[in-house]
Amino acid sequence: MNALCALRGARNLSVAALLPAALILSGCSGEPSASQVEKAVLESYAKEAIALRQVSGSMANRLIPELHGVRKLACNKLNDASYACDVELEITAPGASQRSKGPTNVTVVKTSDGWVAKPK
């Protein structure tokens, strides 16, 4: 009886030990989460804004919308490392006093540094 209980305890322990590993590995594949898409879009937007400011100087401040938020709507798999994602952007357009929301598409690609957004 004790051997059977020990075997059952060992089996429960091995399942318990594998569960965290399975959860960690499940994050390695599949489509990006809402927070990963948001982060990728915000980082891409910031890089593009910096590049535009370098080219056009202070005029860029009158041309670049202010990005307030990103919301993932849906993603479709393109291949193992990229997804076409529909997102909703909340922005204030140059010269506008109110925020507006609108849909757009981005391609989100898994790189060694994480998810990166590529505007379409």
Q: What is the tens place of the pLDDT at every residue in 52-93? A: 888 877 777 778 889 999 999 999 999 989 999 999 999 999
Q: What is the pLDDT of residue 22?
A: 39
Q: What is the pLDDT of residue 12?
A: 47
For 37, 72, 91, 118, 120, the CA distances from 105, given in Å and listed in that order, are 11, 10, 15, 9, 6
Q: What is the pLDDT of residues 18-41, one digit of tens each?
A: 434 433 444 455 899 999 999 999
Q: What is the pLDDT of residue 118?
A: 87
Q: What is the pLDDT of residue 26?
A: 41
Strand ranges, E, within 19-99 = 66-79, 82-92
Predicted TM-score (pTM) of the model is: 0.70
Distance CA 83, CA 90 (A): 21
Burial of 97 (0-12, 13-18, 19+ CB in 10 A): exposed
Angle at 50 between CA 47 and CA 56, to 5 degrees: 140
Q: Which two tokens stand for residue 90?
A: 């909340």
Helix (H) or strand (E) holding 16: helix 2-26
Instruction: Count CB atoms within 10 A of the CB of residue 58.
Output: 7
Q: What is the pLDDT of residue 42?
A: 95
